[in-house]
Structure 1
Protein backbone atom coordinates (compact mmCIF):
# COMPACT_ATOMS: atom_id res chain seq x y z
CA UNK A 1 0.00 0.00 0.00
CA UNK A 2 1.07 3.59 -0.63
CA UNK A 3 2.02 5.45 2.53
CA UNK A 4 0.80 8.97 3.23
CA UNK A 5 4.43 10.07 3.53
CA UNK A 6 5.07 8.76 0.01
CA UNK A 7 2.04 10.67 -1.30
CA UNK A 8 2.94 13.94 0.39
CA UNK A 9 6.57 13.59 -0.57
CA UNK A 10 5.85 13.64 -4.30
CA UNK A 11 5.19 17.35 -4.70
CA UNK A 12 7.38 19.09 -7.26
CA UNK A 13 10.27 20.96 -5.73
CA UNK A 14 10.45 23.57 -8.47
CA UNK A 15 7.61 26.05 -8.75
CA UNK A 16 8.15 28.13 -11.85
CA UNK A 17 5.02 30.23 -12.39
CA UNK A 18 2.13 31.93 -10.65
CA UNK A 19 -0.20 29.44 -12.37
CA UNK A 20 1.75 26.59 -10.81
CA UNK A 21 1.72 28.31 -7.44
CA UNK A 22 -2.04 28.66 -7.47
CA UNK A 23 -2.59 25.06 -8.60
CA UNK A 24 -0.12 23.54 -6.18
CA UNK A 25 -2.05 25.22 -3.36
CA UNK A 26 -5.15 23.22 -4.28
CA UNK A 27 -5.68 20.41 -1.80
CA UNK A 28 -7.38 17.10 -2.55
CA UNK A 29 -8.74 15.73 0.73
CA UNK A 30 -9.08 11.97 0.60
CA UNK A 31 -10.09 9.47 3.27
CA UNK A 32 -7.51 6.77 3.92
CA UNK A 33 -10.13 4.10 3.17
CA UNK A 34 -10.78 5.73 -0.23
CA UNK A 35 -7.11 5.46 -1.09
CA UNK A 36 -7.14 1.83 0.03
CA UNK A 37 -10.18 1.21 -2.20
CA UNK A 38 -8.43 2.78 -5.20
CA UNK A 39 -5.24 0.81 -4.54
CA UNK A 40 -7.17 -2.46 -4.24
CA UNK A 41 -8.99 -1.70 -7.51
CA UNK A 42 -5.68 -0.98 -9.28
CA UNK A 43 -4.06 -4.15 -7.96
CA UNK A 44 -7.11 -6.29 -8.78
CA UNK A 45 -7.21 -5.33 -12.49
CA UNK A 46 -3.43 -5.27 -13.02
CA UNK A 47 -1.91 -5.52 -15.64
CA UNK A 48 -4.77 -3.46 -17.11
CA UNK A 49 -5.40 0.15 -16.18
CA UNK A 50 -8.15 0.67 -13.64
CA UNK A 51 -10.31 3.77 -13.64
CA UNK A 52 -12.99 5.37 -11.55
CA UNK A 53 -14.58 8.60 -10.43
CA UNK A 54 -14.09 10.74 -7.36
CA UNK A 55 -17.29 12.39 -6.12
CA UNK A 56 -17.53 15.10 -3.50
CA UNK A 57 -17.68 18.82 -2.92
CA UNK A 58 -15.48 21.88 -2.99
CA UNK A 59 -14.89 24.77 -0.65
CA UNK A 60 -12.99 27.45 -2.50
CA UNK A 61 -10.42 25.60 -4.57
CA UNK A 62 -10.04 22.66 -2.17
CA UNK A 63 -11.72 19.36 -2.96
CA UNK A 64 -13.15 16.84 -0.49
CA UNK A 65 -13.64 13.36 -1.91
CA UNK A 66 -16.71 11.80 -0.29
CA UNK A 67 -17.21 8.74 -2.47
CA UNK A 68 -15.19 6.63 -4.88
CA UNK A 69 -16.99 5.12 -7.86
CA UNK A 70 -15.08 2.15 -9.23
CA UNK A 71 -15.81 1.84 -12.93
CA UNK A 72 -14.98 -0.72 -15.54
CA UNK A 73 -12.27 0.21 -17.99
CA UNK A 74 -14.40 0.40 -21.13
CA UNK A 75 -11.40 0.64 -23.48
CA UNK A 76 -11.78 -1.78 -26.40
CA UNK A 77 -11.19 -1.94 -30.14
CA UNK A 78 -14.22 0.28 -30.80
CA UNK A 79 -13.07 3.01 -28.44
CA UNK A 80 -9.60 2.83 -29.95
CA UNK A 81 -11.17 3.64 -33.32
CA UNK A 82 -13.26 6.47 -31.80
CA UNK A 83 -10.09 8.00 -30.34
CA UNK A 84 -8.12 7.42 -33.57
CA UNK A 85 -5.76 5.09 -31.74
CA UNK A 86 -4.05 1.99 -33.04
CA UNK A 87 -6.13 -0.89 -31.62
CA UNK A 88 -3.08 -3.18 -31.77
CA UNK A 89 -0.95 -0.84 -29.63
CA UNK A 90 -3.50 0.95 -27.48
CA UNK A 91 -5.07 -1.67 -25.22
CA UNK A 92 -6.65 -1.64 -21.75
CA UNK A 93 -3.14 -2.23 -20.41
CA UNK A 94 -2.16 1.25 -21.64
CA UNK A 95 -5.40 3.23 -21.90
CA UNK A 96 -8.70 3.70 -20.12
CA UNK A 97 -12.08 5.17 -20.80
CA UNK A 98 -15.25 5.40 -18.75
CA UNK A 99 -18.53 4.58 -20.50
CA UNK A 100 -20.73 7.64 -21.13
CA UNK A 101 -23.70 6.08 -19.34
CA UNK A 102 -21.55 5.62 -16.22
CA UNK A 103 -20.49 9.27 -16.36
CA UNK A 104 -24.14 10.34 -16.65
CA UNK A 105 -25.18 8.15 -13.72
CA UNK A 106 -22.36 9.60 -11.60
CA UNK A 107 -23.36 13.14 -12.56
CA UNK A 108 -26.97 12.46 -11.58
CA UNK A 109 -26.00 10.86 -8.27
CA UNK A 110 -23.64 13.73 -7.49
CA UNK A 111 -26.24 16.35 -8.34
CA UNK A 112 -28.89 14.58 -6.23
CA UNK A 113 -26.53 14.72 -3.23
CA UNK A 114 -25.44 18.31 -3.82
CA UNK A 115 -21.99 17.11 -4.88
CA UNK A 116 -20.10 16.99 -8.16
CA UNK A 117 -17.62 14.80 -9.97
CA UNK A 118 -14.29 16.18 -8.77
CA UNK A 119 -12.01 13.97 -10.77
CA UNK A 120 -10.95 10.69 -12.24
CA UNK A 121 -8.48 8.16 -10.93
CA UNK A 122 -6.64 5.57 -12.96
CA UNK A 123 -3.61 3.35 -12.70
CA UNK A 124 -0.37 3.21 -14.61
CA UNK A 125 0.70 -0.46 -14.68
CA UNK A 126 4.49 -0.69 -14.46
CA UNK A 127 4.85 3.05 -15.10
CA UNK A 128 5.23 6.10 -12.83
CA UNK A 129 2.28 8.05 -11.42
CA UNK A 130 2.91 10.83 -13.94
CA UNK A 131 0.39 11.79 -16.64
CA UNK A 132 1.17 10.66 -20.16
CA UNK A 133 0.76 12.86 -23.24
CA UNK A 134 -2.48 10.98 -23.96
CA UNK A 135 -3.70 11.65 -20.39
CA UNK A 136 -3.07 15.35 -20.99
CA UNK A 137 -4.70 15.40 -24.43
CA UNK A 138 -7.91 13.85 -23.10
CA UNK A 139 -8.07 15.60 -19.71
CA UNK A 140 -10.75 18.09 -18.68
CA UNK A 141 -9.86 21.27 -16.86
CA UNK A 142 -10.85 21.59 -13.18
CA UNK A 143 -10.84 17.81 -12.71
CA UNK A 144 -8.31 16.18 -10.43
CA UNK A 145 -6.49 13.24 -12.00
CA UNK A 146 -5.24 10.83 -9.34
CA UNK A 147 -2.79 8.30 -10.75
CA UNK A 148 -1.69 5.13 -8.98
CA UNK A 149 1.56 3.51 -10.10
CA UNK A 150 1.27 -0.29 -9.88
CA UNK A 151 4.47 -2.29 -10.32
CA UNK A 152 4.31 -6.06 -10.56
CA UNK A 153 0.80 -5.98 -9.08
CA UNK A 154 1.59 -3.73 -6.08
CA UNK A 155 0.58 -0.07 -5.66
CA UNK A 156 3.74 1.91 -5.03
CA UNK A 157 2.94 5.58 -5.60
CA UNK A 158 -0.04 7.91 -5.80
CA UNK A 159 -0.06 11.46 -7.18
CA UNK A 160 -2.78 13.89 -8.15
CA UNK A 161 -2.69 16.36 -11.02
CA UNK A 162 -4.79 19.15 -12.52
CA UNK A 163 -4.48 21.02 -15.81
CA UNK A 164 -3.29 24.62 -15.72
CA UNK A 165 -4.28 27.46 -18.08
CA UNK A 166 -1.74 26.21 -20.63
CA UNK A 167 -3.20 22.68 -20.65
CA UNK A 168 -0.20 21.32 -18.74
CA UNK A 169 -0.55 19.10 -15.69
CA UNK A 170 0.50 20.54 -12.34
CA UNK A 171 0.66 18.52 -9.10
CA UNK A 172 -1.99 18.81 -6.41
CA UNK A 173 -1.41 18.24 -2.72
CA UNK A 174 -3.12 15.18 -1.27
CA UNK A 175 -4.15 15.18 2.37
CA UNK A 176 -5.28 11.86 3.82
CA UNK A 177 -7.98 11.96 6.47
CA UNK A 178 -9.05 9.30 8.92
CA UNK A 179 -12.68 8.39 9.54
CA UNK A 180 -14.37 10.85 11.87
CA UNK A 181 -12.18 13.85 11.06
CA UNK A 182 -14.08 16.98 10.07
CA UNK A 183 -14.40 17.35 6.33
CA UNK A 184 -14.56 20.52 4.33
CA UNK A 185 -17.83 19.11 2.99
CA UNK A 186 -19.29 19.41 6.50
CA UNK A 187 -18.87 23.16 6.41
CA UNK A 188 -21.84 25.32 5.54
CA UNK A 189 -21.07 26.67 2.09
CA UNK A 190 -24.53 28.14 1.49
CA UNK A 191 -24.21 31.72 0.24
CA UNK A 192 -25.29 34.20 2.90
CA UNK A 193 -28.04 36.62 1.84
Structure 2
Protein backbone atom coordinates (compact mmCIF):
# COMPACT_ATOMS: atom_id res chain seq x y z
CA UNK A 1 0.00 0.00 0.00
CA UNK A 2 1.14 3.52 -0.69
CA UNK A 3 0.44 6.40 1.70
CA UNK A 4 0.35 10.07 0.80
CA UNK A 5 0.58 12.18 3.96
CA UNK A 6 -0.58 15.80 4.08
CA UNK A 7 2.17 18.06 5.44
CA UNK A 8 -0.04 19.33 8.29
CA UNK A 9 -0.93 15.79 9.35
CA UNK A 10 2.72 14.77 9.25
CA UNK A 11 3.69 17.88 11.20
CA UNK A 12 1.12 17.03 13.87
CA UNK A 13 2.58 13.53 14.26
CA UNK A 14 6.18 14.75 14.35
CA UNK A 15 5.49 17.55 16.86
CA UNK A 16 3.60 15.14 19.09
CA UNK A 17 6.44 12.58 18.95
CA UNK A 18 9.07 15.18 19.84
CA UNK A 19 6.98 16.79 22.60
CA UNK A 20 6.43 13.49 24.46
CA UNK A 21 10.06 12.33 24.21
CA UNK A 22 11.43 10.24 25.98
CA UNK A 23 7.99 8.59 26.18
CA UNK A 24 6.00 7.00 23.38
CA UNK A 25 3.22 9.05 21.88
CA UNK A 26 0.22 7.72 19.99
CA UNK A 27 -2.66 8.92 17.90
CA UNK A 28 -4.96 8.22 14.98
CA UNK A 29 -4.86 9.32 11.37
CA UNK A 30 -7.68 9.76 8.91
CA UNK A 31 -8.29 10.35 5.24
CA UNK A 32 -9.47 8.53 2.16
CA UNK A 33 -8.80 4.93 1.24
CA UNK A 34 -8.39 3.69 -2.32
CA UNK A 35 -5.49 2.61 -4.49
CA UNK A 36 -3.54 5.05 -2.30
CA UNK A 37 -4.23 5.97 1.29
CA UNK A 38 -4.51 9.74 1.38
CA UNK A 39 -3.88 10.86 4.98
CA UNK A 40 -5.40 14.28 5.58
CA UNK A 41 -5.56 14.50 9.39
CA UNK A 42 -3.77 13.23 12.47
CA UNK A 43 -5.16 13.53 15.97
CA UNK A 44 -3.02 12.84 19.04
CA UNK A 45 -4.44 10.86 21.95
CA UNK A 46 -3.12 10.21 25.42
CA UNK A 47 -0.84 7.24 25.95
CA UNK A 48 -2.93 5.46 28.60
CA UNK A 49 -0.31 2.76 29.27
CA UNK A 50 0.25 2.24 32.98
CA UNK A 51 3.90 1.92 33.91
CA UNK A 52 6.84 2.51 31.60
CA UNK A 53 5.74 4.57 28.59
CA UNK A 54 9.29 4.67 27.23
CA UNK A 55 8.74 1.36 25.40
CA UNK A 56 4.96 0.90 25.27
CA UNK A 57 1.82 2.75 24.35
CA UNK A 58 -1.82 1.97 24.86
CA UNK A 59 -4.96 3.62 23.53
CA UNK A 60 -8.08 3.47 25.67
CA UNK A 61 -11.33 1.92 24.43
CA UNK A 62 -12.95 5.34 24.87
CA UNK A 63 -10.39 6.96 22.56
CA UNK A 64 -11.02 4.24 19.94
CA UNK A 65 -14.76 4.93 20.12
CA UNK A 66 -14.15 8.67 19.80
CA UNK A 67 -11.89 8.08 16.79
CA UNK A 68 -14.53 5.99 15.03
CA UNK A 69 -17.19 8.59 15.83
CA UNK A 70 -14.98 11.42 14.53
CA UNK A 71 -14.37 9.54 11.26
CA UNK A 72 -18.09 8.90 10.73
CA UNK A 73 -19.08 12.49 11.56
CA UNK A 74 -16.47 13.93 9.20
CA UNK A 75 -16.91 11.50 6.31
CA UNK A 76 -13.36 10.19 6.72
CA UNK A 77 -11.85 6.74 6.97
CA UNK A 78 -9.98 5.86 10.15
CA UNK A 79 -6.83 4.59 8.44
CA UNK A 80 -4.55 3.72 11.31
CA UNK A 81 -2.48 4.51 14.34
CA UNK A 82 0.80 6.34 14.70
CA UNK A 83 3.20 6.05 17.60
CA UNK A 84 6.78 6.94 18.39
CA UNK A 85 9.84 4.88 19.25
CA UNK A 86 12.06 7.01 21.53
CA UNK A 87 15.75 6.31 20.87
CA UNK A 88 14.76 3.23 18.88
CA UNK A 89 14.44 2.47 15.15
CA UNK A 90 11.21 3.08 13.23
CA UNK A 91 10.59 -0.67 12.92
CA UNK A 92 7.72 -2.54 14.55
CA UNK A 93 8.43 -4.47 17.72
CA UNK A 94 7.01 -7.86 18.66
CA UNK A 95 4.60 -6.00 20.95
CA UNK A 96 3.48 -3.85 17.99
CA UNK A 97 2.80 -7.00 15.97
CA UNK A 98 0.74 -8.56 18.76
CA UNK A 99 -1.45 -5.46 18.97
CA UNK A 100 -1.92 -4.96 15.22
CA UNK A 101 -5.14 -5.57 13.31
CA UNK A 102 -5.68 -6.03 9.57
CA UNK A 103 -6.58 -3.01 7.43
CA UNK A 104 -4.89 -0.38 9.63
CA UNK A 105 -1.62 1.24 8.66
CA UNK A 106 0.84 1.72 11.51
CA UNK A 107 3.08 4.76 11.27
CA UNK A 108 6.16 4.57 13.49
CA UNK A 109 8.24 7.67 14.19
CA UNK A 110 11.77 7.16 15.45
CA UNK A 111 12.77 10.00 17.77
CA UNK A 112 16.47 10.12 18.59
CA UNK A 113 17.53 12.43 21.41
CA UNK A 114 14.31 14.44 21.07
CA UNK A 115 14.32 14.91 17.28
CA UNK A 116 12.47 12.97 14.60
CA UNK A 117 14.97 10.74 12.80
CA UNK A 118 12.82 8.54 10.56
CA UNK A 119 9.17 7.82 9.77
CA UNK A 120 7.92 4.51 8.39
CA UNK A 121 4.57 2.80 7.91
CA UNK A 122 3.60 -0.85 8.17
CA UNK A 123 0.57 -3.02 7.48
CA UNK A 124 -0.21 -6.65 8.23
CA UNK A 125 -0.02 -8.90 5.17
CA UNK A 126 -2.04 -12.09 4.59
CA UNK A 127 0.50 -14.06 6.64
CA UNK A 128 -0.08 -11.64 9.57
CA UNK A 129 3.46 -10.27 9.32
CA UNK A 130 4.29 -6.60 8.98
CA UNK A 131 5.06 -5.36 5.48
CA UNK A 132 6.53 -1.89 5.00
CA UNK A 133 4.41 0.60 3.10
CA UNK A 134 5.62 3.34 0.76
CA UNK A 135 5.24 6.89 2.05
CA UNK A 136 4.93 9.95 -0.18
CA UNK A 137 4.45 13.44 1.16
CA UNK A 138 3.98 17.06 0.25
CA UNK A 139 7.18 18.23 1.94
CA UNK A 140 10.56 16.73 2.71
CA UNK A 141 10.05 13.82 5.07
CA UNK A 142 12.90 12.65 7.27
CA UNK A 143 13.59 9.06 6.24
What TM-score do you get using the length of structure 2 for normalisation?
0.93
> 1 or 2, which has the higher strand percentage?
2
> 1 or 2, which has the higher helix percentage?
1
Q: What stretches of structure 1 of length at least 5 have no aligned partner?
A: 1-25, 78-90, 179-193
Computed over aligned residues only, the root mean square deviation of the Cα atoms, in angstroms, reads 1.1
Matching residue of 1:28: 3
Structure 1 or 2, whichever has the larger Rg, is: 1
CA deviations on 1:78-125 (whole Å, 9 max, x unpaired) are xxxxxxxxxxxxx11110011111111110110122222100000000
Measure the CA separation in 1 of the matches of 2:26 and 2:5.
16
Aligned residues: 139
Matching residue of 1:76: 50
Matching residue of 1:5: none
Report the secondary structure of 1:44's partner residue: helix
What TM-score do you get using the length of structure 1 for normalisation?
0.69
Question: Once the 2 structures are TM-superposed, how far is the Cα of residue 35 of structure 1 from its aligned partner?
Answer: 1.4
Q: Is the 8 A contact 2:6 2:41 kept in 1?
A: no
Matching residue of 2:16: 41
Q: What stretches of structure 2 of length at least 5 have no aligned partner?
A: none
In the TM superposition, structure 1's runs of 4+ consecutive aligned residues that sit over 6 Å from their partners are none
Measure the CA separation in 2 of the matches of 1:154 and 1:177.
20
